[in-house]
Amino acid sequence: MGRAVIATRLPGLAEYLSEGETGLLTNPGDPAALAEAIHTLWRDKSRSEKMGQQGREWIQSRFSLEQWIARMTDILESL
């Protein structure tokens, strides 16, 4: 969607986010850190927009429909 992401530092989430480049990470169970991350992006619209754009580009470069089809084709052919 081209939006900056705020996620918790948990396996499965943190691997899809580059801290400070595509979004912000907070520790699980830390509402103060979550609030600060929200305020950080809210106060700096250009930073938030840049992170969102970079995140979208990262996802598109790794998870396009064509790449998914190629992976599924490889899996099916290996069966």
The answer to whether 25 and 41 are in contact (CB under 8 A) is no
Alpha helices in the chain (DSSP H): 31-43, 45-62, 65-78
Determine the structural domain holding residue 74 and report its residue range: 5-78
User: Would you say residue 13 has pLDDT above 80?
Assistant: no
The amino acid at residue 40 is T
Tell me how many domains the chain contains: 1
Q: Which CATH number is 65's domain given?
A: 3.40.50.2000
As a whole number of Å, the end-to-end CA separation of the chain is 35
- CA 24 centroid distance within chain: 9
3-state secondary structure 10-25: CCCCHHHCCECCCEEE
Q: What percent of the chain shows pLDDT beyond 90?
A: 68
Per-residue model confidence (pLDDT) at position 18: 87
